[in-house]
Amino acid sequence: MSTHVNAPTPTPAPAPVAAPAMPASTFLRRHWAWLAMLVLMLVLPWLFYDHARGRHSGFAITLMSEMALMAVFALSYNMLMGQAGLLSFGHAILFGIGAYSVAHTLNWIKASGVPIPVELMPLVGGIGGLVCGILAGYVATKQRATAFAMITMGIGELLTAAALMFMTFFGGEGGITTDRVTDTSIFGIPYTRPIQVYYLLVAWAIIAAVLMYLQTQTPLGRMANATRDNYERTQFVGYDPRVIRYWQFILAGFFAGIAGGMYCLVYEIVTFDTLAAVKSANALLATYIGGAVGFFGPVMGAVVVVGMQSGVSLHTSAWLLYLGVIFIAMVMFAPGGLLGLVANHIPIARMGRLGELAVPYARISLPTALASAGFILFVELVTHQTIGASQGKKFALLGQPIDPGSTIVWVASLVAMLVGTLWLRREGSFFMARWNALIEDAKARGIMS
């Protein structure tokens, strides 16, 4: 066999070698997901172009910008959760410090005239997050799982409260305002219009995502997975798991800081809520709902969370409740998140028997729709009683005004929930029977990887 541990053959630490030239078709086939996403991100704004006014819908552009930066934030969170098995409740501090760093830098550029390109601001955010990661990570990663979670929560609460108190760096309750229009663009773009900021964000999102993906293919990235799978075995192949975790935390901080910088560019104001527990919870929800295993999950989750937070919230104040219910349902029944659910279908698709699920899916979609409709109606009715009515809102279902006082509506919602749930249980067992049969077949044929 091979060499002795005491005198390893010195392997020159290689610089990232450029991949040997690959035929275009192979490149397309292997990286289709990336390319599809890039195209989608580039084209999407034009779906919301208001031809009458000759510009894009401001709301849509802001929404998409938020999705882009949230995706980077969630991906950085997954470096800890899915890759290293670390549950952090204070990830937002890395995001927030990044955002504050950019705000101060922009103000400094304005004041001193130093020509730092505004395009590099997310990098400044990344450096802020990196420094914060070095400091906080040192303390946090010394601990095992639960203690780690609590220290991150404690540091998060600490910094949030400090941000409210101290004026110099955090600006107290009012936060720090800034202006991204600095005349220092290296492309000569003024960034006065949201669409310009959006495309800058897309560029940074792609760069950050690609870097994070490549990191999973490095020795550190792989050993982070190993630490997640088996802490002890990691030690017995020669690694200190705490050092691995520390590095992973620092790198996650860098990328979270980039997301924070992106945030500052969009909103031009940074307040304590960029550090707060709610922000950290958003990262958690996005990553978990999207799927912590597998690379793209958090991106999907970010789209869902932002969609609900900024989209659904316009129609109902109970959006967070729905998000919470989805989250709990995932924790209990689909721990792999949305991506996991999709991935579960792959063995069946490989067998070419995906069509056999069409009928079962149709059969469970009806009771699910009924139960959900009943639940949503009930929740909205209750919310309207306590919150909506005092705000003077009228209750309307699909445009039809409904009197929330009438008993019929209440009874209807409860009946729908009850009937829907019972029906779902029956259809659910039928579905699971067909599903399990298909999976068993896949296993027998050795298709399960």
Partner 1 sequence: MEVFVVSLLNGLVYGMLLFMLASGLTLIFSMMGVLNFAHASAYMLGAYFAYTLSLYLGFWIALIVAPIVCGLIGAAIEMWGLRRVHKNGHIAELLFTFGVALIIEKVVQMTWGLIAVPYRIPEGLNFPLFDLWGTQFPAYRAFMLLISALMFLSIWLGLTRTRIGLVIQAALTHPDMVGALGHNVPRVFTLVFAAGTALAGLAGVIGGNYRVTEPGMAFSMGPIVFVVVVFGGLGSLTGCFIASILMGLIQTFAVVLDYSLADLLEVFGFIVTKATPGSEFLMVTLPRIAALLPFILLVLILVFRPRGLMGTRDT
Partner 2 sequence: MIEAAIQLTDVRKSFGRTEIIRGVNLTIPKGQRHAIIGPNGAGKTTLFNLISGRFPVSSGSITLNGQNTAGLAPQQINHLGLSRSFQITSIFPRMTVFENIRCGLLWSRGHKYSFWSLLGMQRSLNEEAEQLLERLNLHNRRHVYAGLLSYAEQRALEIGITIAGGADVILLDEPTAGMSHSETDYAQQMIRTVSEGKTLIMVEHDMSVVFSLADVITVLVYGEVIASDAPANIRSNRAVQQAYLGEEAA
Backbone angles phi, psi at 90, to 5 degrees: -135, 25
424 Cβ partners below 8 Å, 6+ apart? Answer: 364, 367, 368, 371
Alpha helices in 230-296 (DSSP H): 231-236, 241-267, 277-290
> For residue 8, what is the DSSP state?
P
**Residues 272-311, interacting with partner 2 (CB under 8 A):** 293
Stretch of 14-22, 123-131, 391-399, 430-438 contacting partner 2, by CB under 8 A: 14-22
Among 188, 219, 355, 401, binds partner 2 (CB under 8 A): 219
Tokens of 301: 């989750």
- In whole angstroms, the minimum distance from the beta carbon of 293 to partner 1 comes to 12
Cα separation, 163 vs 96, whole angstroms: 10
43 is in the binding site of which of partner 2, partner 1, none (Cβ under 5 to 8 A by kind)?
Answer: none
> For residue 91, what is the DSSP state?
T
Q: Does the footprint of partner 2 cover residue 26 (CB under 8 A)?
A: no
- In whole angstroms, the minimum distance from the beta carbon of 228 to partner 2 comes to 7
Whose CA is closest to 224, among 252, 204, 189? Answer: 252
Q: Does the footprint of partner 1 cover residue 341 (CB under 8 A)?
A: no
For residues 238 and 399, which CB has a smaller minimum distance to partner 2 in the complex? 238
Whose CA is closest to 282, among 309, 311, 261, 259? Answer: 309
Side chain identity, residue 204: W
For 374, other C-beta atoms within 10 Å of its C-beta total 20
- In whole angstroms, the minimum distance from the beta carbon of 138 to partner 1 comes to 9
- CA 13 from chain center: how many Å? 33
- In whole angstroms, the minimum distance from the beta carbon of 169 to partner 1 comes to 9
- In whole angstroms, the minimum distance from the beta carbon of 340 to partner 2 comes to 12
Q: Does the footprint of partner 1 cover residue 371 (CB under 8 A)?
A: no
Cα separation, 358 vs 105, whole angstroms: 55
**Contact between 75 and 255 (Cβ < 8 Å):** yes
For 291, other C-beta atoms within 10 Å of its C-beta total 27
- In whole angstroms, the minimum distance from the beta carbon of 385 to partner 2 comes to 47
Cα separation, 48 vs 61, whole angstroms: 8
- In whole angstroms, the minimum distance from the beta carbon of 335 to partner 2 comes to 13
Helix (H, G, I), strand (E, B) or coil at 22: coil
**Residues 241-280, interacting with partner 1 (CB under 8 A):** 277
Using CB under 8 A as the binding criterion, the count of chain residues that bind partner 1 stands at: 44
Among 3, 9, 11, 390, binds partner 1 (CB under 8 A): 390
DSSP per-residue letters across 51-76: TTTTEE-HHHHHHHHHHHHHHHHHHH
Whose CA is closest to 160, among 270, 283, 275? Answer: 275
Among 166, 187, 361, 430, binds partner 1 (CB under 8 A): 166
Q: Does the footprint of partner 2 cover residue 449 (CB under 8 A)?
A: yes
- In whole angstroms, the minimum distance from the beta carbon of 222 to partner 2 comes to 6
Among 71, 127, 205, 318, binds partner 1 (CB under 8 A): 318
225 is in the binding site of which of partner 2, partner 1, none (Cβ under 5 to 8 A by kind)?
Answer: partner 2
> For residue 18, what is the DSSP state?
P
- In whole angstroms, the minimum distance from the beta carbon of 12 to partner 2 comes to 9
Cα-atom radius of gyration of the chain, to the nearest Å?
Answer: 25
Among 37, 120, 134, 158, binds partner 1 (CB under 8 A): 158
17 is in the binding site of which of partner 1, partner 2, none (Cβ under 5 to 8 A by kind)?
Answer: partner 2
Stretch of 39-47, 176-184, 296-304, 316-324 contacting partner 1, by CB under 8 A: 316-324
14 is in the binding site of which of partner 1, partner 2, none (Cβ under 5 to 8 A by kind)?
Answer: partner 2
Q: Does the footprint of partner 2 cover residue 2 (CB under 8 A)?
A: yes
Helix (H, G, I), strand (E, B) or coil at 387: helix
Stretch of 24-32, 33-41, 232-240, 384-392 contacting partner 1, by CB under 8 A: 384-392
Alpha helices in 336-444 (DSSP H): 337-344, 346-351, 358-383, 407-444
> For residue 12, what is the DSSP state?
P
Among 161, 181, 397, 411, binds partner 1 (CB under 8 A): 161
Provide the β-strand partners of residue 50.
55
Among 25, 217, 386, 429, binds partner 2 (CB under 8 A): 217
Task: Name the residues that contact partner 2, by CB under 8 A.
Answer: 1-6, 8-11, 13-17, 214-215, 217-223, 225-226, 228-230, 232-240, 243-244, 247, 251, 293, 448-449
